[in-house]
Chains A and B, each alone.
Chain A
């Protein structure tokens, strides 16, 4: 099956620094990528949707200046957590949708996730 690679899997950073998380589709072109966040024992929450070559669409309550998303190519999307604070510590995971197909038959492929700890 299709593979989505997310890097890094774990990162610890100091408060005030920025962290970049990469999400790559390895064997298909991802027209759309989704970024999710998961707090302990909570559901995954959609943060933003990114389409290649255009600005990301952020969900209500997600600060676009804090969580910068870039989808510069059909195989790579990045999420940068800027000026990180301890409350940004969470599990972040991306999902990619293969181009083409319909909403009925298009699978979603997930990255392995990134555990961010801000100290």
Chain B
């Protein structure tokens, strides 16, 4: 069983739709990252959270430590949001464990 499970693996949406990506993990964590990887490969850390909820523009991330579950939401999705989104819990030693990613395609 993978330590980090993301769903869905692939997601296609129409511009303007509300997007949710889920992440469940079995490892103990100190924090959790949501990362965005564009086709060129570069990675950007969207959020790092250890409890509750964070919002940045159209992006919202939530985490439930007791249930070992986190979600990433995108409101009013746009084609430029098309990318791979990766959930990465962090252990107490700063090491990240990565999910396989969710490929999001937003069509105009």
Contact = CB atoms under 8 A, between A and B. Distances in A.
Interface of A: 32, 34, 38, 42-46, 49, 91, 93, 95, 97, 103-113, 115
Nearest to B44: A110
Given A104-B30, A112-B41, A112-B42, A42 B100 contact: yes
Contacts of A44: 86, 88, 96, 98
Given A42-B100, A104-B50, A97 B94 contact: yes
A97 B96 CA distance: 12
Nearest to B91: A103
A110 B43 contact: yes
Interface residues of B, number: 25
Contact of A108 (B4, B48, B50, B86): B48
Interface string B67-99: 000000000000000000010101011111011
A91 B98 CA distance: 15
B95 A107 contact: no
B83 to A, nearest CB: 14
Contact of A103 (B4, B30, B88): B30
22 contacts: A32-B94, A34-B96, A42-B100, A43-B4, A43-B86, A43-B98, A43-B99, A44-B98, A45-B98, A46-B96, A103-B31, A103-B94, A104-B30, A104-B31, A104-B50, A106-B94, A108-B48, A110-B43, A110-B45, A111-B42, A113-B40, A113-B43
Which of B4, B92, B101 gathers the greatest number of chain A CB atoms within 10 Å?
B101
7 nearest interchain CB pairs?
A113-B41, A110-B43, A112-B42, A43-B98, A44-B98, A103-B30, A43-B100
